[in-house]
C-alpha cells in the first residue's frame, strides 16, 4: 500500500482530519513531533499518516499508559471499559468461540469473554503480563506471528481495541487468524481515534 491509500481497505479516498501533537500514554502527555490523522472515506477507519515508533514490549510504554507496569495499574485503568467493549461485540458473538484479543494488555476483556468463549488467546507484547493471562486461563503470546504457529485458521473472533491505530498493516494483523472461507470468522476493531 502506498502512503495515499487506506491501510485497512486500500481505498484512495482518504483525508487528513488532524495535524498536530498526539496524546502519548495518559492524558496530558504528548508526542514531541506533530503527526497526521487520516480518515478513510470508504471504510471510515482512522489511522496515523506515519506510525509512531514505540516499543510496546517495554515497561516504559505501560508506565506511559497506566501509570505503572503492574497488573493492578492495568486493571484500575482499564477494567471499567470492558462492559462497553462487550456491548460492541455482543455475548452471542463470543459464545462457544475461540476468541483472540490482539493487544490485550493484562487481559481485562479476555477475563470477561472467557465466561462465554470456548478458548481465549491474548496477544500482548509486554511479557510481564503473560503470567497473569495464563493464571486466568488465557493462552498468552507476545506477537501475532507466535500465536499463528498454534492457531492459524482456528480463531473465530478477533478483537483489537485501541490498538489497531498502532499497527502498520491492520488487515493482515487480524485476518491471518481467521478460519478458511468454509468457516469464516469475525473481526472487530475499535480504534481510539
160 and 145 in one domain? yes
User: 90: which residues sit within 8 A by CB, 6+ positions away?
Assistant: none
Q: Of 33, 53, 73, which residue is a domain's last?
A: 53
Residue 174 confidence (pLDDT)? 57
Asked if residue 131 and residue 46 are part of one domain, the reply reads: no
pLDDT of residue 92: 94
If asked whether residues 83 and 121 sit together in one domain, one would say: yes
Is 135 in the same domain as 178?
A: yes
Provide the CA 102 distance to its chain's centre, in angstroms: 4
What is the reported pLDDT for 186?
47
DSSP for residue 23: B
Q: How many domains does the chain have?
A: 2
pLDDT at residue 83 in the model: 93
Confidence (pTM): 0.77
Domain that holds residue 94: 59-190
Q: Give residue 175's pLDDT.
A: 60
Q: What's residue 185's pLDDT?
A: 44
Please tell me whether residues 33 and 18 are part of one structural domain: yes
Query: Does 13 share its domain with 94?
Result: no
CA torsion 16→43→181→190, rounded to 10°? 80
Same domain? 40 vs 63: no
Residues 24 and 111 in one domain: no
The rounded distance, in Å, linking the Cα atoms of 22 and 116 is: 36
Question: pLDDT of the chain along its 193 residues, tens only?
Answer: 456 888 778 899 999 999 999 887 777 888 888 999 999 999 888 888 877 778 888 888 888 888 888 999 999 999 999 999 999 999 999 999 999 998 999 999 999 999 999 999 999 999 999 999 999 999 999 988 889 889 988 889 988 888 766 666 666 665 665 554 444 444 444 444 3
Whether 121 and 148 map to the same domain: the answer is yes
The predicted pLDDT at position 173 comes to 63
Q: 90 and 174 share a domain?
A: yes
Amino acid at each position: 500500500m502506498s502512503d495515499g491509500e487506506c491501510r485497512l481497505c486500500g481505498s484512495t479516498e482518504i483525508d487528513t482530519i488532524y495535524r498536530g501533537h498526539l496524546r502519548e500514554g495518559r492524558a496530558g502527555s504528548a508526542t514531541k513531533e506533530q503527526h497526521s490523522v487520516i480518515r478513510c472515506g470508504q471504510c471510515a477507519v482512522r489511522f496515523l499518516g506515519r506510525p509512531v515508533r514505540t516499543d510496546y514490549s517495554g515497561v516504559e510504554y505501560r508506565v506511559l499508559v497506566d501509570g505503572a507496569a503492574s497488573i493492578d495499574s492495568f486493571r484500575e485503568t482499564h477494567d471499567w471499559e470492558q462492559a462497553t467493549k462487550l456491548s460492541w461485540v455482543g455475548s452471542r458473538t463470543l459464545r462457544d468461540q475461540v476468541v483472540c484479543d490482539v493487544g490485550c494488555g493484562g487481559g481485562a476483556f479476555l477475563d470477561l469473554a472467557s465466561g462465554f468463549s470456548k478458548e481465549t488467546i491474548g496477544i500482548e507484547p509486554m511479557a510481564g503480563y503473560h503470567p497473569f493471562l495464563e493464571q486466568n486461563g488465557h493462552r498468552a503470546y507476545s506477537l501475532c506471528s507466535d500465536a499463528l504457529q498454534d492457531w492459524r485458521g482456528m480463531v473465530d473472533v478477533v478483537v483489537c481495541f485501541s490498538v489497531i491505530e498502532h499497527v502498520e498493516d491492520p488487515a493482515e494483523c487480524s485476518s491471518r487468524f481467521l478460519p478458511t472461507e468454509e468457516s469464516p470468522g469475525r473481526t472487530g476493531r475499535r480504534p481510539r481515534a
